[in-house]
Amino acid sequence: MNLALFDLDYTLLPIDSDYEWARFLIRQGVLDGEHYERENERFFTQYKQGTLDIYEFLRFQLAPLAAHPRRQLDAWHQQYMQEVISPRIAPQARELVDRHRRQGDLVALVTATNAFVTAPIARAFGIDHLIATGIEEANGEFTGKPHGTPSFREGKVERTEQWLQGLGHQMSGFGQSWFYSDSMNDLPLLERVSHPVATNPDERLAKTAEQRGWTVLRLFADAH
């Protein structure tokens, strides 16, 4: 058995699922669009520059989950999947995942986006294992705080290793391993697999992939 890991935003999806979730909430009248767009642009610039404070970002991004009952959030998310996500799951992305599944590989989605937003998306791709940023809960409701190590940058390596250990595996124990990602922020995990694949890569990752002879895969012509 081999290992296949996938990033989500701009990798399997041509959009940022976290950003689109917030835009969906803006359309529902839940968030202040002007304030959100201003703050999100600031965080996105930091993300591209590799200077993002993940905890500051998570305090901002998870706040709406603490402001509404879980039942309402689940109803909104079902609508979000129907209106936003399902139409953007491209056949070529689904086929990439399915190919690894047919080969009998151990497949996981490894994303910095929180588990509430991404768990239904993983299921839509037929991916059983999700490594995502956890959210603290109290009495079945979200507190708006992250839980555990965010799966961001080196945190993706840490969380992936913990997940594999729980299954009785370790990264070095696989004959072949793949990680598909678009972002230079994922360099720590890309460097740990035998087959790093720069997928719809940002400019910095594209240059790194060229320098190191890594495979470059472009699933979406307009991903960046």
Q: What is the mean pLDDT of residues 186-199?
A: 98
Q: Which among 7, 18, 186, 202 is annotated as catalytic?
A: 7
Contact indicator for 131, 156 with CB cutoff of 8 Å: yes
Interior angle at CA 191, CA 189 and CA 197, nearest 5: 85
Q: What is the mean pLDDT of residues 146-158?
A: 95
Does residue 57 or residue 194 have the better pLDDT?
Answer: 194
Model-level pTM? 0.93
Annotation says 74 is catalytic: no
What's residue 222's pLDDT? 56
> How is residue 106 written in tokens?
């151990």
Q: What is the mean pLDDT of residues 14-37?
A: 91
Contact indicator for 216, 90 with CB cutoff of 8 Å: no
Contact indicator for 184, 203 with CB cutoff of 8 Å: no
Q: Which among 9, 18, 105, 202 is annotated as catalytic?
A: 9
Does residue 141 or residue 44 have the better pLDDT?
Answer: 141
DSSP classification of residue 9:
B
Q: What is the mean pLDDT of residues 131-138?
A: 96
The amino acid that residue 108 corresponds to is A
Q: Any idea which residue has 């037929």 for tokens?
A: 126
Q: 3-state SS of 72-91?
A: HHHHHHHHHHHHHHHHHCCH
Alpha carbon of residue 168 to chain centroid? 24
Rounded Cα–Cα distance for residues 187 and 183 (Å):
8
Confidence bin at 36 (pLDDT 50/70/90): confident
Rounded Cα–Cα distance for residues 192 and 27 (Å):
40
Rounded Cα–Cα distance for residues 31 and 188 (Å):
34
Q: Does domain 3-217 have CATH number 2.40.430.10?
A: no
Torsion angle defined by CA atoms of residues 80, 81, 86 and 89, in that order, rounded to the nearest 10 degrees? 100
Map out the domains of the chain as residue ranges. 3-217
Annotation says 53 is catalytic: no
Q: What is the mean pLDDT of residues 12-23?
A: 94
pLDDT in tens, 64-115: 999 999 999 999 999 999 999 999 999 999 999 999 999 999 999 999 999 9
CA distance from start to end of the chain: 33
In 10 A of CB 83, how many CB atoms?
A: 12
DSSP classification of residue 13:
B
What's residue 40's pLDDT? 81
